[in-house]
Amino acid sequence: MSNKLLNRQANHYEVLIIGGGAAGLSLALNLPAHMTVAVITKGRETEGSTYYAQGGISAVLREDDSFKSHIEDTLNAGGGLCDEKTAKFTVENAPDAISWLSDLGVPFTTDKHKDGKKTWHLTREGGHSHRRVIHAADATGKALETTLVNHARLSDNIELLEHHIAVDLITGKKLGLDHNRCIGAYVLDKDNMQVETFQARYVVLASGGASKVYLYTSNPDGSTGDGIAMAWRAGCRVANMEFMQFHPTCLYHPKAKSFLLTEALRGEGGHLLLPDGSRFMHKFDKRSELAPRDIVARAIDHEMKRLGVDCLYLDISHKSAAFIRSHFPTIYARCRKFGIDLTREPVPVVPAAHYTCGGVMTNLHGQTDIENLYAIGETAFTGLHGANRMASNSLLECLVFARAAAQHITQNANTDHKWNTIKAWDESRVTNSDEEVVVSHNWDELRRFMWDYVGIVRTDKRLQRARRRVDLLLLEIEEYYGNFRVNADLLELRNLAVVADLIIRSAQQRKESRGLHYTLDYLQTNEKAENTILTPE
């Protein structure tokens, strides 16, 4: 570690990054070596959603593909709500982002040709009109995250702080100053259970999405919407929180914890089957299994409810065993662990909450409504995904906007920055809780009513029920937060309740069915497409 980092004032950094996935680490690695950077993660460095991403990263990498086609596919999947300028910006910067990753050493899967030349193997996923998804077998996220972490560890200016969870952002407004810049964050060190004050010239929210708000999710436990909730409390607008994407195919097994079965399985010819072995997707969309995720998830949900069954099936056993093992080694091994042979039989599947399409509103540089506060990756709302994210555009968004934010921070760095005097976290009027059961009970109740009332198919009555329950929970949680010492479970519950409130409020405002928001009370899609924007009071 460099002397510059060792000699800096305690917990003072030029850039504080909250979240250590593809977005956060990519930004850190794109900042100049003279800037001191802290990356905080709630658990181990590889516990975020990036690590578990299977499919890949979409980018135009072949001559028979085009930026125009990738943009059109993205806009079509987004149900008329994508920002075309954002889509163009993202797509056109994709090849450079892939080249950067390749230079770092991400082991993308290649094809070897007869002349001995190797080219990247590209697969096709739902919503894409071409093969443009570059991947590392079926564990792209693991390869990506591992590579980024290794480079960050070797960087003298980057400090990786595991087992740290942000409590709240520190802004000028909160301190009574004459500006509302973001100047840091209160952070709980989970190892010693102390809340520390972190100051930074720039703060970046890269903490991922909020799918843990639902009972069943493909995401790891840390996907609790922390960045979205903190930004909202600090005064940032959020947009399109009603568009929560449910991945159509997660492994259905009591011990699998909703293990995701990549879109590429269907992209390579996998069939969705009813319990009697018949296919059904052609009844819902002409693209059958290659329809966008919202359509596939609703079709599976519809058939499960119609038949009263716990799951449906995904079958790729008509492909050769060698093909399946070579293209999907991780999935094959995991299924075998549960007694399922992917090469011989269908796999039981169910939909599960997967991706947050809305988030903290930003521009193309990742800037939020608050000066010196950025949001990137799944935490942010850039306008790229609209009403439904197209497969493999998520990791791409992380990379493109991380690089854009890093460039903007570098170009606009304030050289005469003055550190503020911030009071330490005050625990003088709180006690240790003797009722931890309240946290676990509220956590369970929240995720269950969100699944039942604000899931794949919604109604006004269901949303009203959810509204009443979340209002009560918010009061209970805030009272608990004000009286007891904080811990990670309480902080995550507090953030999840805020996110649930934002999702419900957004869903109640949208009087139509569009993309991921499907309501039986408004089956039509309005002629005019508008974003749902919520502004803090």
Phi first, then psi: give them for residue 56, nearest 5 degrees.
Answer: 160, -160
Domain spanning 3-242+357-411: CATH 3.40.50.300: no
| Tens digit of each residue's pLDDT (9 = 90 or more) over 204-250 | 999 999 999 998 888 888 899 999 999 999 999 999 999 999 989 99
- pLDDT for res 3: 42
Is residue 469 among the annotated active site residues?
Answer: no
Tell me, rounded to whole angstroms, the distance of Cα 46 from its chain centroid: 14
Q: Which CATH class is domain 436-522?
A: mainly alpha
User: With the CA atoms of 368, 476, 220 and 264 taken in that order, what torsion angle do they form, in degrees rounded to the nearest 10?
Assistant: -70
Cβ neighbours around 206 below 10 Å, total: 31
Residue 198 parent element (H or E): strand 194-205
141 contacts 395 by C-beta, under 8 angstroms: yes
Annotated active-site residue in 132, 181, 201, 293: 293
Confidence category of residue 305, pLDDT binned at 50, 70, 90:
confident
The stretch 86-95 carries a mean pLDDT of 98
Determine the Cα–Cα distance for residues 53 and 49; give it in Å rounded to an integer: 6
Confidence category of residue 46, pLDDT binned at 50, 70, 90:
low
Q: ∠64-69-70 over CA atoms, to 5°? A: 105
| Tens digit of each residue's pLDDT (9 = 90 or more) over 325-365 | 999 999 999 999 999 999 999 999 999 999 999 999 999 99
247 contacts 297 by C-beta, under 8 angstroms: yes
- How is the chain split into domains, by residue range? 3-242+357-411, 249-353, 436-522
Confidence category of residue 7, pLDDT binned at 50, 70, 90:
very low
User: With the CA atoms of 379, 382, 388 and 389 taken in that order, what torsion angle do they form, in degrees rounded to the nearest 10?
Assistant: -70
| Tens digit of each residue's pLDDT (9 = 90 or more) over 361-409 | 999 999 999 999 999 999 999 999 999 999 899 999 999 999 999 999 9
Determine the Cα–Cα distance for residues 343 and 516; give it in Å rounded to an integer: 32
- pLDDT for res 4: 43
341 contacts 331 by C-beta, under 8 angstroms: no
| Tens digit of each residue's pLDDT (9 = 90 or more) over 497-507 | 999 999 999 99
The stretch 241-261 carries a mean pLDDT of 88
Looking at residue 232, the DSSP 8-state letter turns out to be H
Cβ neighbours around 276 below 10 Å, total: 7
Cβ neighbours around 30 below 10 Å, total: 17
Could you tell me which CATH number the domain at 249-353 has?
3.90.700.10
Looking at residue 275, the DSSP 8-state letter turns out to be T
- pLDDT for res 262: 86
Residue 156 has pLDDT above 90, yes or no: yes
Q: Give the pTM.
A: 0.90
Closest CA to 248 of 275, 231, 271, 229: 271
- pLDDT for res 1: 39
